[in-house]
Amino acid sequence: MPTIIFEPTGRRIKVKTGENLLEVCWTHGIPIESVCGGNGACGKCAVQIIDHGSPVSAEDRKHFSEERLAQGWRLACRTRVERDMRVAVPLPPGVLPGQVMTAHEASDITPAPKVRKHFLKLAPATLEQPGSDANLVLQAIPGGDSLRFRPSALRKLPGVLRKAGHQVTVTVWDGAVLDVEPRDTTRHNYGIAFDVGTSTVAALLVNLNTGEEIGVAAGLNPQRKYGEDVISRISYCRSHPEGAETLSGEIVALLSDLAEQVTTSYRVNPAHVGEYVAVGNTTMTHLIAGVDPSPIGELPYAPVFTACQTMLDGPKGARLGHKPFEIPAALGAFVGSDIVAGLVALQLHTKPGTRLFLDIGTNAELLVGGRDRMLAASAAAGPAFEGVKIECGMIGIAGAIDSCGLEDGDLVFDVIGNGAPAGICGSGLVDIAAVLLDLGIIDESGRLLTRDECPKTVPPKVCERLHEANGTTRITLAGDVYLSQRDVRELQNAKAAIAAGIEILMHHLGLAPDELDEVLIAGAFGSTLDPRSAQRLGVIPMVPLERIRAVGNTALQGAKAYLLSTRLREEICGAGEHIELRELSAEPDFMDRFADNMRFGA
């Protein structure tokens, strides 16, 4: 059986001879892009096979230059594993260890976790001083009188106690003894925070004693094969009797895999993980809990639950050691626990000042206000800002154009990884559109001018990039990569939805853009976005640039806060009371504002 070593993690997987490499990645939770489902069409499952020449398929020739082919780049979906290989799989953005673990203001939490470990040196009972094993333990723990043993811990207790000469470590969680281990293991107290996105899923391993971020594992949401966005996944649940169960099983399996990966990679005993927390949009958290999200997809878009939810033994079917698994509170059907946990991690609800918080993923969520009053909404922006539904779009991995400028009379691009451009990611899209708007090649209505209409002020090399294809205008960027009229329309739709949402929330609060003390942009997109370009497009209100700040993966930071601090946990569970959720589609002026914002301002 051939072994594949995946770089950069070094993970080794044994496979059957002739297995399809993309399917191996799917089966084992290796994060990899694929939109077409593995038929060689989308070209997104590019991997670099490092140590030997692999056969080149017709589809490989279509997607890679000779140079890249020589470097070992292949489509995973066209690759059969015939012998041992080392494979580098580009990681999706936002899930790279360095990126996820960037410190934010939220990271200086004083650890006061729900999971606590106590090392006890007990004197065994005697005939004169009798007592049960359980009482011996509880009497030695501060506040032990009110604790109860969970059945699994009770079953371990007599054996562990006697084998360890009555020197044991007990794990306590919310009034319950979860575990008992021989000797002193108090140093080994871990939790795992999951950020479950529609596209990508990350698992952050946290030391609960110190708050240290140990490491991260990430994967693509296996539910992608049922559709790119939550609405198509809900549709699948509504139209298939076992749909919710299937989708639930897939995400729970991925969470189990990621927990295994991150503990294996960082040499943490899975038995020392005392608690799991998963944040995500409300559809994802429903599916993690095994709850059918169908009601979210029909009027009045009511979720089944929004309150903080505990699964004492973990989700159904999980391989997570039957530990407590928590889902923090959501606000509603389209503003999930990822947003709520993030805002508490940033302390937006307690800090003075007025802020706009924007999380643009497959959908966009908005929060506006401060500690006195805060409004939230979800804008159906679609996945354009993630590079999805853009003809040459891709997520921000190696090969993606992520910024654009004008140099020596022509367009110039930055490409992630500095290789040949393979597509456009969200921040690249924003940048390119802003440059083309400034040049006048895209007009205020969003029309991409033809080469004939190209303004005289535009350098000729740029005008020459314009051409017609398939009855519409395109602008060639680099190699096969282009931006089309249809892409600009997708962008307009996305930015109009977000801008209209922001306007409505600010209007309800009586706020002008200048009254915003900060604009905080969360997520991978936020960290690569050029704020000036975003303002040029009208996605972000016109505040002074220095007030715009990327705040990273606040969802994961929020999940970590939930793990680390019982106080922050309470704040997250109670946050719903402080925030008013607005359903934009029910706002009378939404359609007007949406239409207005389709235009690009001057």
Q: Indicate the residue among 299 and 602 with the shorter CB distance to its own copies.
A: 299
Residue found under tokens 């609960």: 208
Site residues (CB under 8 A) for its own copies, limited to 152-211: 154-155, 157-159, 162
Q: Indicate the residue among 250 and 402 with the shorter CB distance to its own copies.
A: 250
How far, CA to CA in Å, does 512 sit from each of 352, 371, 500, 549, 579? 17, 18, 14, 19, 20
Sole binder of its own copies in the list 3, 39, 135, 139 (CB under 8 A): 135
> CA 69, CA 67: separation in Å to the nearest integer?
5
Q: How far is the CB of 169 from its own copies (least distance, A)?
A: 18
The reply to whether 141 sits near its own copies by the rule CB under 8 A is no
Q: Indicate the residue among 132 and 264 with the shorter CB distance to its own copies.
A: 132
Q: How far is the CB of 309 from its own copies (least distance, A)?
A: 7
Q: Indicate the residue among 6 and 334 with the shorter CB distance to its own copies.
A: 334
Residue found under tokens 């000036």: 532
Site residues (CB under 8 A) for its own copies, limited to 321-340: 332-333
Q: Indicate the residue among 155 and 467 with the shorter CB distance to its own copies.
A: 155
Determine the residue type at 141.
I
Q: How far is the CB of 335 from its own copies (least distance, A)?
A: 11
> CA 452, CA 466: separation in Å to the nearest integer?
9
Q: Is the CB of residue 539 less than 8 Å from the CB of residue 430?
A: yes
Residues 335-364 as b or e (16 or more Cβ within 10 Å = b):
bbbbbbbbbbbbebbeeeebbbbbbbbbbb
Count interface residues toward its own copies (CB under 8 A): 49
- As a whole number of Å, the end-to-end CA separation of the chain is 62
> Please, what is the angle between helix 566-574 and helix 554-564, to 10°?
120
Q: How far is the CB of 24 from its own copies (least distance, A)?
A: 32
Residue found under tokens 């640039």: 545
The reply to whether 133 sits near its own copies by the rule CB under 8 A is yes
Q: Indicate the residue among 303 and 383 with the shorter CB distance to its own copies.
A: 303
Q: Indicate the residue among 52 and 162 with the shorter CB distance to its own copies.
A: 162
Which DSSP helix (H) or strand (E) runs through 3? strand 3-7
Report the 10 Å Cβ neighbour count for 146: 7
Sole binder of its own copies in the list 6, 64, 149, 562 (CB under 8 A): 149
The reply to whether 122 sits near its own copies by the rule CB under 8 A is no
Q: How far is the CB of 149 from its own copies (least distance, A)?
A: 7
Q: How far is the CB of 238 from its own copies (least distance, A)?
A: 11
Q: Indicate the residue among 312 and 509 with the shorter CB distance to its own copies.
A: 312
Q: Indicate the residue among 83 and 163 with the shorter CB distance to its own copies.
A: 163
The reply to whether 312 sits near its own copies by the rule CB under 8 A is yes
Q: Is the CB of residue 257 less than 8 Å from the CB of residue 28?
A: yes
- DSSP notation for 87-127: EE-PPPTT-SHHHHT---GGG-PPPB-SEEEEEEEPPPP-S
Q: Is the CB of residue 175 less than 8 Å from the CB of residue 147?
A: yes
The reply to whether 140 sits near its own copies by the rule CB under 8 A is no
- Dihedral of CA atoms 335, 337, 342, 344 in degrees, nearest 10, equals 110
Using the contact rule CB under 8 A, the part of the chain among 338-346, 349-357, 546-554, 577-585 near its own copies is 577-585
The reply to whether 566 sits near its own copies by the rule CB under 8 A is no
Q: How far is the CB of 534 from its own copies (least distance, A)?
A: 30
The reply to whether 317 sits near its own copies by the rule CB under 8 A is no
Reading phi first (left if > 0) and then psi (alpha if -120 to 50, else beta), residue 317 is in left
The three-state DSSP-derived secondary structure of 245-278 is HHHHHHHHHHHHHHHHHHHHHCCCCHHHEEEEEE
The reply to whether 316 sits near its own copies by the rule CB under 8 A is yes
> CA 504, CA 213: separation in Å to the nearest integer?
38
Q: Indicate the residue among 6 and 149 with the shorter CB distance to its own copies.
A: 149
Q: Is the CB of residue 541 less than 8 Å from the CB of residue 513?
A: yes
Sole binder of its own copies in the list 264, 310, 472, 566 (CB under 8 A): 310
The reply to whether 417 sits near its own copies by the rule CB under 8 A is no
Which DSSP helix (H) or strand (E) runs through 504? helix 485-509
Q: Is the CB of residue 258 less than 8 Å from the CB of residue 11?
A: no
Which candidate, 549, 434, 449, places its Cα nearest to that of 491? 434
Residue spans of beta strands (DSSP E) within 337-448 = 355-360, 364-369, 374-379, 400-407, 410-415, 423-424
Burial of 271 (0-12, 13-18, 19+ CB in 10 A): middle
Using the contact rule CB under 8 A, the part of the chain among 60-68, 126-134, 512-520, 556-564 near its own copies is 126-134
Site residues (CB under 8 A) for its own copies, limited to 270-309: 289-292, 294-295, 299-307, 309
Q: How far is the CB of 175 from its own copies (least distance, A)?
A: 11
State whether residue 547 is helix, strand or coil.
helix
Q: Indicate the residue among 157 and 548 with the shorter CB distance to its own copies.
A: 157
Which DSSP helix (H) or strand (E) runs through 441? none
Q: How far is the CB of 442 from its own copies (least distance, A)?
A: 36
Q: Indicate the residue among 44 and 286 with the shorter CB distance to its own copies.
A: 286
Sole binder of its own copies in the list 91, 115, 259, 311 (CB under 8 A): 311
The reply to whether 134 sits near its own copies by the rule CB under 8 A is yes
Q: How far is the CB of 294 from its own copies (least distance, A)?
A: 7
The reply to whether 583 sits near its own copies by the rule CB under 8 A is yes
Q: How far is the CB of 233 from its own copies (least distance, A)?
A: 15
Q: How far is the CB of 428 from its own copies (least distance, A)?
A: 37
Q: How far is the CB of 130 from its own copies (least distance, A)?
A: 6
- Where along the sequence are the contacts to its own copies (CB under 8 A)? 124-128, 130-136, 148-149, 151, 154-155, 157-159, 162, 289-292, 294-295, 299-307, 309-313, 315-316, 332-333, 581, 583, 585-586
